[in-house]
Structure 1
Amino acid sequence: MPKATIINGSPTPGSRLTAVISLTSELLIKEGYEVDHVNVGELPPGDLIHTKFESEAIVKANALVAGADVVIVASPVYKASYTGVLKTFLDLIPEKGLAGKVILPLFIGGSLAHLLSIDYSLKPVLSALGARYILGGVYTVDSQVARTEEGGFDISEELVGRLEDNVKELADETKRRLHYASLAE
């Protein structure tokens, strides 16, 4: 069974990004993935800020990333980039820690003005960590994930379709990579 780790870079529990991550998890499970989560906002702040590589929480989070075939990096967009708390965690992933993994970025922002933030702010950092199989990603506008009166979320059909397409592409790419890796053994 292939493994996926979703890195949630939001410092805010219950944000709209949570709904996007939840749907993505469901879609991955339907594709036969075991899904783990790293909620960066729940990691000890001192360990992140002081780059404590040996911290139990950081070691555990990095083990989830290391054991994954797929890594999904999710973040709200603040000031035309991903969150600072996500950056502190990415700084703690070992050099080449994303090598050989298929990566899917998921960003959510207030408007389309920051549509290219995945390409200009995140992808260079992922590449520096050894990622070579970075899919285009999904950029979501806040209005596509509406809060309901019951406290849940209503995700637009258009966004659901894009997430389905991207998870399918991710699954196809992962199958291809795992197939070639088994032939090489």
Structure 2
Amino acid sequence: MSEIVVISGSPSAFSRSEQVLKYLGNLLKQEHFSVTHISIKDVPAEEVFQGKFDSPAIHEVTELIQNAKGVIVGSPVYKGAYSGVLKALLDILPQDVLKHTPVLPLMTGGSASHLLAIEYTLKPVLATLKGHNLKGLYLLDRQIDKRKENPIIDEDILQRTKKQLQYFTEIVNRQASTVFLT
């Protein structure tokens, strides 16, 4: 069982959003969390696009998410929203797959004009899946160098990202201790 599941909705082989998600996963590992990365590219496309919610691969993704203490979901902005492949995956997961789970949404985009995509597209679908949405992170492409180990090259954004990640881990730990005590 993974404590934290990181879901990448980027269909690109080497995307900025996926590199940022991997970096966040590495930071979480340094804080002694176990982390499992799920990339939309690793889920069989046929099962996603044909809505095979009962397939073994979708069942495995569902189980990982349901057993996680926290989930980070990231996607690049495409046409003012998160990726269609991420939407296709989220559509075939159970309605309450994120029930009582802290969720940190993350999006990357080419301009600040898409900043509200996280608020109006990604966060509502995560809430529909019963996730406990945190504030979230939006990073501009120019703030990311996907070739670096730490891809966030803007110092202010890096500090804001680390602050949000710290808040996320505090909530995960608080919920874990509450569950443990009950």
TM-score by length of 2: 0.92
Bigger shift: residues 81-90 or 173-182: 173-182
For residue 155 of structure 1, the aligned residue among 152, 157, 170 is 152
Partner Cα separation in structure 2 for residue 101 and residue 8 of structure 1: 17
When residues 165 and 29 of structure 1 are mapped into structure 2, their CA distance, relative to the original with a 3 A threshold, is same
* Farther-moved stretch of structure 1 (78-87 vs 92-101): 92-101
Aligned to 2:69: 69
2:15–2:146 contact (8 Å) kept in structure 1: no
Q: What amino acid maps onto 2:142 in structure 1?
A: S
Structure 2 counterparts to residues 14-33 of structure 1, below 5 A:
14-33=14-33
CA distance in 1, matches of 2:146, 2:161: 19
**What's 2:174 paired with?**
176
Q: Hey, what's the Cα distance between the residues in 2 that align with 1:13 and 1:152?
A: 17
The 5-angstrom pairing of residues 105-116 of structure 1 reads 105-116=105-116
CA distance in 1, matches of 2:93, 2:159: 31
- For the aligned residue pairs, the C-alpha RMSD in angstroms reads 1.8
Cα distance in 2 for partners of 1:11, 1:152 equals 21
The 1:41/1:147 distance shift into structure 2, 3 A limit, reads closer
1:117 aligns with 2:114: no
Q: Quote how far apart the aligned CAs of 1:153 are.
A: 7.0
Shift, 1:2, TM fit:
6.9
The answer to whether the 8 A contact 2:2-2:36 is kept is: no
The aligned residue for residue 145 of structure 1 is: 144
Cα deviation 1:3-54 (Å, max 9, x = unaligned): 0000100000111112201210111112221000111122111111111012
Q: 1:167 to 1:93 in 2, by over 3 A?
A: same
- Identity in percent: 36
Confirm or deny: 8 A CA contact 2:23 2:149 kept in the other structure.
Answer: no
> For residue 87 of structure 1, what is the amino acid of its counterpart?
K
Distance in 2, matches of 1:121 and 1:3, equals: 26
Equivalent residues of 2:11, 2:41 under 8 A apart: yes
AA in 1 matched with 2:173: K
Cα deviation per residue 1:48-103 (whole Å; 9 max; x = unaligned)? 11110122221111121111110111000001100000001101211211001100
1:116-157 superposed Cα distances (whole Å, 9 cap, x missing partner):
1111101111111111x2111110000001355xx8774212
Pick closer, same or farther for the CA change 1:9–1:70 going to 2, 3 Å.
Answer: same
Structure 2: runs of 5+ lacking an equivalent = none
